[in-house]
Amino acid sequence: MPLITRGIAQEGYANMKLFTNLSRTENKTLKQLTTMKKTTLMLAILGGLCFTQGVRAQLVDEQNVTITMDLQPILQLDMNGPQNIDFIFDDVSDYVGGITKYGVTQLKVSSTVAWDLYAVGFSSSGTNWDNQVIYGVGSDPNAVTTIPCTALELRQDKVNPNPNPAPALFADYNGAFLTSPVTSGQNNIFVSATPYTRPAATEKYIAGGTTSAEFVAGGSYLVTQGGNVGAGSNYWYTIDYRIVPGLPAVFPNAALNNGTSNALVAPQYAQPGVYTMNVKYVLVENEL
């Protein structure tokens, strides 16, 4: 037994000695072998996984279509009626009672966006009619050519569906023409030398108003909107015109939208002649 024990011990010692000798000489090689074994094992696992995935893969394939929609904003205002509207005052009764032209202009709206519609009167000289020619000698200093554009009155056939709230005196031109003289400003056109500046909250719109809260939703007179279509809808307005020169011709009805009289002050009166002004109907997208 002691011999055997010693032998084993000697053998063990020898082995340890051998290992010790190897560690010293080939330790690096052994580490590399160990790393290679681990790598091989990992690759085998990975390969197995990939193989399993390949074998069990389901059919999945796809194709894509991209769809782009370009929605362009369209504000379309169709105006029926003459481009030039003549008021010829050649009779005293015309001066006193004025001339009214009914249903001369039809305004038809088609819009893809919420909108406002307003009328603005102006001339090349600003807010007075342009005098093209005078009749007579024109030597009377009281005969003036500065007739305010507010002398023109409008009436629209239906109310503004979503007008400016108070303090607007009149939200639209829907009121009936009153017996002249009338100085309230009820039907007088909104006048501005800068026609593309929208009316203020105290001034008139045909439809809609100043802020984003007052507008008419996108739509058209061509299709039913709220049960109405065509001339019965909020997308169609018929406009009447009236001018009352008065006698003497001071245009007594002329007034700003806030009711301030704009009439000529006697002894001044309008010089006979030819006068022109521009009425612009502006359809504009509702603003934020």
Partner 1 sequence: MPVFKCFLSLLLSSLVLVLKGQCNGPFNGAANCDPNLSEIQVTGNSSIDFNFDSFQKINGGLVLNGVSVVRIKTFNNPALSCKWNLMMYISNGGGATPGNEWETLAQYGSGAAPAPLLDLIEVRVSNPCATPINNSNWQTFTASSGASLPIINDVLNYNPPGTCSGTQVNAAGSYLGNYGEYTFTIDYRITPGFVFQPGRYNLRITFCLSEM
Binding footprint of partner 1 on the chain (CB under 8 A): 38-39, 42-43, 46, 49-50, 53, 55-74, 76, 110-114, 212, 217-220, 222-223, 285-288
Q: How far apart are CA 231 and CA 237, in angstroms?
A: 7
The least distance separating partner 1 from the CB of residue 257, rounded to whole angstroms, comes to 25
Cα-Cα-Cα-Cα dihedral sign, residues 180, 184, 186, 188: positive
Count other C-beta atoms under 10 Å from residue 28's C-beta: 8
* Residue written as token pair 């002004």: 277
Residue 71 or 266 with smaller CB distance to partner 1: 71
The least distance separating partner 1 from the CB of residue 222, rounded to whole angstroms, comes to 7
Residue 20 or 76 with smaller CB distance to partner 1: 76
Q: How far apart are CA 186 and CA 254, in angstroms?
A: 10
The least distance separating partner 1 from the CB of residue 213, rounded to whole angstroms, comes to 11
DSSP one-letter code for 225? B
Residue 41 or 178 with smaller CB distance to partner 1: 41
Q: Are the beta carbons of 200 and 170 closer than 8 angstroms?
A: no
Residue 72 or 179 with smaller CB distance to partner 1: 72
Residue 24 or 38 with smaller CB distance to partner 1: 38
Q: Considering only CA atoms, which of 70, 74, 72, 104 is closest in space to residue 87?
A: 104
Residue 46 or 178 with smaller CB distance to partner 1: 46
To which H or E segment does residue 281 belong?
strand 278-285
The least distance separating partner 1 from the CB of residue 114, rounded to whole angstroms, comes to 6
The least distance separating partner 1 from the CB of residue 43, rounded to whole angstroms, comes to 7
Residue 28 or 38 with smaller CB distance to partner 1: 38
Provide the strand spans (E) within 135-252.
Answer: 143-144, 152-156, 219-220, 236-243
The token pair at 158 is 């239906």
User: How many whole angstroms from its chain centre is CA 56?
Assistant: 57
Q: Where are the alpha helices (DSSP H) in 98-166?
A: none
The least distance separating partner 1 from the CB of residue 55, rounded to whole angstroms, comes to 7
The least distance separating partner 1 from the CB of residue 77, rounded to whole angstroms, comes to 11
